[in-house]
A and B are shown apart, each in its own frame.
Chain A
Amino acid sequence: MNSGIDFPALKPADLEILLALSQQDLHGYGLMKQVEAQSQGRVVLELGSLYRLIGRLEREGLIRSLEDEADATRRKYYRLTELGHRALKAEARRLQKVVEVLHTRHLLEGSEGTS
């Protein structure tokens, strides 16, 4: 089944958040730090942007929140939903195709040397 067709391309920040949550459930602060770490500092989410994106992704059904009983502060954790997984996979496939095209056209070869 080609589920990628139903999904539009993800925005870079959305992709980073879904990517971070694909490893483990995270609360807001943790998500912020994880995104920063996995993107090697390229993507830094400010507080407002973080919760704007969390709000939107949750509304779109790509992530959902769960109260962690074990956490003393009763902090909310976020988890990738099934739809979120599919959207992430679709995005990965899309990026893969882009990379394949770049390979066939030999556009990736010189780039390491020049940078």
Chain B
Amino acid sequence: MKEVPERRRAPRLSWILRSFPRSHRERYGSEMVETYALLEEELAESPSLMRWRRRLRCLANLLWSGFRIRVSGWKSRIEGGRFRTPDFDPKKGGSSVEQWLRDVRYGLRQVARQPFLSGIIALVLALGIGANMAIFNFIETLLWKPLPVPRPEQVVTLNLVTSESSSSTFSYPFYRDLRERAQVFQELAAHRQVSSTLGEGAEAVPIEVELVSGNYFRMMQISPLQGRLLEPSDDEVEGDRPVAVISERLWRTHLQERPDILGQFLYFNGTPLEVVGIVPGEFRGAHPPLPADVWVPIAMQDAIRSLGASREDRGWGWLQGSGRLREGVSLEQARADLARVSAQLSAEYPRYFEDRRFSVSPATYMPSRTQSLVSDILWLMAGISGLILVATCTNVAGVVLSRSLRREREYALRRSLGATRWALVRQTLTESLILSLVGGFAALFISRWVQSGFVGLVNQVDRNAGFRPVLSLDLPTLAFAFLLSLLACAVVGLMPALKNLRAPLLGLLRQPAGSRQASSGSSRAFGLFLVAQVAICLILLVASGLLVRTLQKGNAFDLGFDSQNLLLVNLNLKPAHLSREAEARFLKDLTRVVAQEAPIEGAALALKVPLDGSKDRAGFRLPDANGEAASKTVPIDVNTVTPGYFELMGIPVLAGREFDPRDDSPGAESVVLVNQAFVSRASGFWKDREPLGKLLQTSEGTRFSIVGVVANVNYYSLGEPPEPMVFLPPGSVMGWPRVLHLRTWGEPAGLGSLVRRRVAKLEPRVQIDNLLSFEELRRIPLLPQRALALVSSIFGGLALLLTLIGLYALVSSAVTRRTQEIGIRLALGAHPRKILCGVLGRVMILVAGGILSGLVLAGALSSFLTNILFQVSGLDPLTYLGVAALLVLVSVAASLVPLRRINRIEPVRCLRYE
């Protein structure tokens, strides 16, 4: 045994020993200090330089060892020690966790080495993933999610199907019949959402009210948060029980959580209703994205809507239905049962129920009215964002591939030093994974941004929609985003990784550093990426081109009247509770008063506004060959207008005369005007083909004589063929119209406050629901197109930019790769222009391939757009040729920039490498 020298002093090691784990310090710490003292003693005689070198080495080793113990301790916790694991493989060069950690560390270093490029890649991926994620979240929430009620699979929506169309509204008596006769429902409820106001006078705020049958909440299986919900007894006698239940949201926000709210009276459209209960927050009515805040029994409908109509009117179809099927009843069984009841009803009420039947479909989160619009837009957006994801992935794949080509020598070197091919593939994939996960994370934020934009857009399309969907980043959406990230990683990373797998080893190492030749495989891959990018770019640009042309055509479309400087004011007279006479007086006075204002040229009232899309029809008996009313009733669109309407609108009166104020006076003959479409449809039956003086009769028996014919106007949507229409004077059948039309001398935008003042002066309780110029209104039907045009233009522009970058990189790397060859050819006397044309030609072949495949694909895909295109063919040659030409021009420009370098190549310098 060796003699141990005496300990002289204990050097201060304690701080450096902290690099060791505590357990190690406790066990060996004091011993290490002593051993260090012995070492110091040993060094005491050596020269100071050597002493310090030894000391430093010792200290560095201490730090390093402490770190290694910590790492291995962590590792053995994961994997167990080497002598205790029976399946330990001594051949392995480190554990898989260690390898993976090494890959991640190395990957992070590589990513951080080019922060700008990595940032761009992650951002581009984030855009692609984020857009797709937002759309997925929408589709999942709005189209796939069930109603937020217990057992939602049992709940169905009732539809009324005719041979021509499907609608969802029916009258209360039919609802009652169906409820009594159908056997498949546990409960069948009727409901109708209407806009109303909460509060009185100037403080009233707009609010959505759902008029519901008494069993509505029992059908939905909702229990109250406070108080009670509506019950069948609340809905038995019309106007009997002025009660309401309110949403938790309304209670918490607008009513500041008043504890004494139960039993209080709130004013809805001027009618006081007693609050009897609060509905818990997650329930938002039958149409969750358009949430209701108040539920009122159908028996109170007249108090809320002031239409002066009884719910017992069998011909008044205004209710929607939802039912809960009995346990074990399938949709088919329910439909069969409803068909049986419908047959009975048709037999009993041929006048109202001929050729109609009830049917059911599963209740969805989105009401069917909005669903078709939203789902069309959503699926198109899904397509567009899917394309942009493919474009971004191929672009990034190109960048990553070119980066990995630059690192080919590094890979070859590492393989020659013993790294396996798999290790290198794993390494490349790890790098792509890091980038795509960073992109996926950033996508979370981008998707929120995309979504809020979309919600705003839907609300712009339909101002009354009140579209407030509950969107959350739920598990499926996050899983989808993660999946997309992995997919992106696979697309982006796999190609370069596989490239490594096949790379010839020795050839690469032998090449001098400056003269790398990309293998034919990688140029093929580059070419393929470019073709794909050009094709996708073309598809997106064609889509945006077609939509822009649609917008142009839509805006230039002649609607049949003068749409400039027209202000529309939607009056809500319900809160005023005026009698019919007082209403008529108020409206007449208002029209007269505002028409006298300086900036206003004229004023008139009408029931319908062009392009508003709604249809109001009344049954008429047409004149027969003798000019007398025929026996058969046909539904015809009606519009009620005041005298001066046609002149104000600039709608030409083709024959006869317009209404005049005397038509309204007592004892005057009842008169109507009809449009051209009416004449061309009906005059076939008439001997003299002369419409003037012919008689029309309503189903109630009122007779009208036709005194004028006016030109056709599009009242429904752009470009729809004009339907026959009858214009009635005010007060005759439909009551007084409530939309004030004002022709202004200049821009109508600033006149809102003037009109509001005049209305308030005449009758302060009257509210203005909506006030907008016709030019604003005109944009609304085309908003889906506008939105898609915007999205496809933005993405198309992005794709174009990506293509430009890809093209530039391709040409630039081609020139760099072939510098030597070009130098030799120049030295042998070739003209630079010829070489330039050669390279350009090869690139253009790729671009042409992309354009051709893009044209074919765009043509095939254009059928998805035909529904929303207006007066533009899905195969519009102008758009296709224009986009193709643009791409060719841009490609040539992008290629010429790097190609100019050919002119600067000096043959002598290139040859030096040989």
Contact = CB atoms under 8 A, between A and B. Distances in A.
A13 to B, nearest CB: 12
Contact of B34 (A50, A55, A59, A75): A75
Nearest to A87: B83
B7 A73 contact: yes
B1 A8 contact: no
B2 interface: yes
Contacts of B64: 48
Interface string B1-30: 110100100000000000000001001100
B15 to A, nearest CB: 14
A47 B35 contact: yes
A64 interface: no
A33 B163 CA distance: 102
Interface in A67-87: 71, 73, 75-76
A52 B68 contact: yes
B83 A60 contact: yes
B95 interface: no
Interface string B50-72: 00000001100111111011001
Interface string A11-50: 0000000000000101111101110000000000011111
Contact of B82 (A47, A49, A60, A76): A60
B83 A47 contact: no
Contact of A46 (B4, B28, B61): B61
A49 B28 contact: no
Nearest to A76: B31
Q: Is the interface of B mostly helix, strand, loop or mixed?
A: helix
Contacts of B101: none
A77 to B, nearest CB: 9
Contacts of A55: 24, 27-28, 69
Contacts of A47: 32, 35-36, 39, 58, 61-62
Contact of B65 (A24, A32, A49): A49
Contacts of B38: 29
Contact of B35 (A7, A8, A32, A49): A32
Given A29-B38, A30-B2, A60 B31 contact: no
A28 B65 CA distance: 16
User: Which of under 10, 10 to 19, 20 to 34, or 35 or more describes the interface residues of B?
Assistant: 20 to 34
A98 B4 CA distance: 39
B31 A8 contact: no
A51 B65 contact: yes
B61 A48 contact: yes
A30 B61 contact: no
Given A48-B64, A60-B82, A33 B88 contact: no
A81 B27 CA distance: 19
Contacts of A60: 81-83
Point out which of A47, A49, A54, A55 has the most chain B C-beta atoms below 10 A from its C-beta. A47
B2 A8 contact: no
Contacts of B328: none
Contacts of A28: 31-32, 34-35
A15 to B, nearest CB: 14
A64 to B, nearest CB: 12
B90 interface: yes
Nearest to A28: B35
A17 to B, nearest CB: 14
Contacts of B31: 27-28, 51, 75-76
Point out which of A8, A33, A51 has the most chain B C-beta atoms below 10 A from its C-beta. A51
A83 B619 CA distance: 104
B35 A52 contact: no
Given A49-B61, A61-B83, A54 B36 contact: no
A9 interface: yes
16 contacts: A8-B82, A28-B32, A28-B35, A29-B35, A29-B39, A46-B57, A47-B32, A48-B61, A48-B64, A51-B28, A51-B31, A51-B32, A51-B65, A52-B65, A52-B68, A52-B69
Interface of B: 1-2, 4, 7, 24, 27-28, 31-32, 34-36, 38-39, 57-58, 61-66, 68-69, 72, 81-83, 88, 90
Q: Which 5 A-B pairs have the closest CB atoms?
A: A48-B65, A46-B61, A48-B62, A8-B90, A52-B65
Given A48-B58, A73-B34, 6 more contacts: A8-B88, A30-B2, A46-B57, A48-B61, A75-B31, A75-B34
